[in-house]
Structures are given as structure tokens and as C-alpha cells.
Structure 1
Amino acid sequence: MRIEDIFSDLPTLETGRTILRKLRSEDEQDIFRYGSDDEVSRYTSWPTHQTMEDTRHYLNKVLQKYDQHAVAPWGIVDKETGRVIGTSGFMAWNVHHDKAELGYALSKDYWNRGYMTEVIRTIISYGFERMKLVRIEASCLPSNLGSARVMEKAGMTFEGIIRQSIFVKGKHEDLKLYSIVVDDYQNQNNPR
């Protein structure tokens, strides 16, 4: 499996309440709406969007990744409103080791309603079924209890704390590491 096999044309996926699709330039207002929220960016590696130019810069980077057939996120579209309410997808894919790392961000208006768990479960299924991954991992700051709950509800297992793993927003931060391996996924989806 090659990265280009998946990311040359990132497919549209669907959950009960969302559509996962490539971002488009016309999504910039929606992205700015949640990207400029200090509560949303509080636990992310990226700074709060201060201006629409910040959002355009982010969006252009994602669109370039699509053009280069590189690993890039899906936009999360709320079926009810048609708005982009966040992003999710693989941030890195190690093809040799058959593993990938998940990342996500969601508008505060949709927190604590199960949207992200729904999305992550769909992406995990895609990773194991289509990308033939053996391991999927994700991490969050220890203080990000909501993100930790999402990973647990999506079937991921807490593995431990990676001390001072990243330098973000001016300081070194620990990360809580979660993972799911293909055997866990198959056992969860095909109980005996």
C-alpha cells in the first residue's frame, strides 16, 4: 500500500450525522468560525486563528496536500446545516510499519454530543479496512479530558504518558498516548 493509493483521491465518507470530505476554498468562513475560538485551539498544536488570513493559510496548506497526494484531513460537514464543523484524519502514516496517527478538531458547538466519536470510529474503520493498517494511534494533552474520552469511546486504549513529547505554544508538553491495533478492532467488531 502506498500513500498515493489512498490520498490521490481522498474519498468521501459518511457517518450518521456527518459527511467527511475534502476541504474546499469556500469552507474558509466555517473553518474560521471554529479556528478562531480560543476554547477549540486551547489543546491543539496550532494557534488560534486571529484573522481570515490565518484560516486561508491553513486551508491552502491542506489543499496543497490534496494536490500532492499527501496525508491530509477530511472536513467534517454537519448533514443538518451543511457547514464544516471541524477536521479529522490521519496526520502521519508510516507505510513501512503499517501505522498511522489520528488528529482532530471540532467546533465547540458540537462538543459532548458524540459527533467526534462517530467520526473517529469511521476513520478507524477506514484505516483498518481500506488502508490495511495494523496500528492507529492518537494523543492529547493530559488536561484534555474531552479528547481522552473520545479516544476511549472510539475503542482506543490508553498506553501511557509520553513525557515532554512536543514543544507547542512556547513550552514542552506531555502527551497521553492512545492506540488501537487491528486485532482489537476485529474483536470489537466481530465479538465471538
Structure 2
Amino acid sequence: MTKNLVPFPIIETNRLVLRKIEKSDANSIFNYLSDKKVMKYYGLAPFETINDALSEIAWYQTIFDNKDGIRWGITLKGNDEVIGSCGFLNMVREHFRTEIGYELNSSYWGKGIASEALQAVVSYGFENFNLERIEALIEPPNIPSLKLVEKLGFIREGLLRNYEFTGGKFDDLYMYSLLKQDFAKLK
């Protein structure tokens, strides 16, 4: 696959800068992806080494290069440390849809940061990737995440039973979606 020649987009909000995650961010990524609270519903075991973080960063680059996803690092304006990430994965361009994923350092929970970042990424996806549908797959016990997507206008469509096998067990996932037409009404 040839290198992606499109520059990585930077998104700014009132408090945040969403930017490309680089290898130099590995310590920050490791800091929060080794936290059991953050990883509880992530689908992976908490990271154990800096190499786990470097592999995650390499995956972010791969999905960007393959044009089937993009992952932004969440930073606070005036502080370049990555405190979380959000973006799209499993992008299916011929069907104008994608999934959204996100996580945030637990030190920053409850401050509206994830909401601000997701709102910006969703808006960017509809306006710049010509998406029609953005999906969120969330484990039922992950109440904060369920509330977050519902606050942003996502609609729960149903339960996908035993949809993922992670951590040695099968997990149910709620399927949420936000359509471009519904998002336009929320603006």
C-alpha cells in the first residue's frame, strides 16, 4: 500500500486540539491504556509495556494509510500531551459508514472532554468524509459511554448478542447510530 499523501487533519475546539498521534506520544498512550479503569470496556487487556503502546500507534497509522479509519490524539490547548484518542475505524466508504471509538485518561473523566472531542470528530466525519452513518458499539454495562453517545444524538438500534470475544469471554454490544440527517437537526 502506498503512503497516504493526504495530510493528517488537525481539529480544534474551544479547549482541545485533536492531532496525529506520533511515536513520541507512546509514554502518554501507555499511561492511560495501562489503566484497568480505562481498559475495562476497550476490548484489550491493559497494556503492560511501552511496546504495546507503540503497536497501538502503528495501528493508528495503518488504518489512516489504508483509508479505513483515522484516530486523533486528544490534547488540551496549551499542553501537547495526549490524554486520550478518538476517531473512526472499519470505515466502509462505498456504504458511507464507519464506527467511532474513543477513550480518555481517567484523570480527565467527568469534565466534558470526551463529549467535546466526539462532537468535533462526528462533525468532521459528516462534513469531510461525506459519511451518512456513524456507528458506536458499546458494552451494556458501560453506562458513561452509553450516556455520552445518547447525549450526542445517537440512537440505540439493538443488542448484538455475544458479538465480541475479548478477555476470554463473549460480550454483548449495543449498536448505536447517528445519521447525517439527524445530526444536521441537532446543530
Same fold per TM (> 0.5)?
yes
Contact 1:164-1:175 within 8 A present in 2 as well: yes
Specify whether residues 34 and 89 from structure 1 end up closer, same or farther in structure 2 by C-alpha distance, changes over 3 A only.
same
Aligned to 1:72: 70
User: In structure 1, what is the Cα distance between the partners aligned to 2:58 and 2:96?
Assistant: 28
Alignment of 1:92-103 (within 5 A): 92-103=90-101
Specify whether residues 28 and 176 from structure 1 end up closer, same or farther in structure 2 by C-alpha distance, changes over 3 A only.
same
The amino acid that maps onto 2:92 is: N
Select the residue among 175, 183, 187 that pairs with 2:185.
187
Aligned to 1:105: 103
Contact 1:159-1:176 within 8 A present in 2 as well: yes
Range that drifts further, 160-169 or 62-71: 62-71
Alignment of 1:1-192 (within 5 A): 8-189=6-187
Work out the percentage of aligned pairs sharing the same amino acid: 34
User: In structure 1, what is the Cα distance between the partners aligned to 2:108 and 2:33?
Assistant: 14
User: In structure 1, what is the Cα distance between the partners aligned to 2:131 and 2:58?
Assistant: 28
- Give the structure with the higher percent strand: 2
TM-align CA RMSD = 1.8
Cα distance per residue 1:130-187 (max 9 Å; x no partner) = 1111111101110000111110111211222111111111111100111110110111
Specify whether residues 68 and 158 from structure 1 end up closer, same or farther in structure 2 by C-alpha distance, changes over 3 A only.
closer
Range that drifts further, 139-148 or 153-162: 153-162
Counting matched residue pairs gives 185
Specify whether residues 184 and 68 from structure 1 end up closer, same or farther in structure 2 by C-alpha distance, changes over 3 A only.
closer
Range that drifts further, 67-76 or 95-104: 67-76
- TM-score computed with the length of structure 1 as normaliser: 0.90
Q: Which runs of no fewer than 5 residues in structure 1 stay unpaired?
A: none
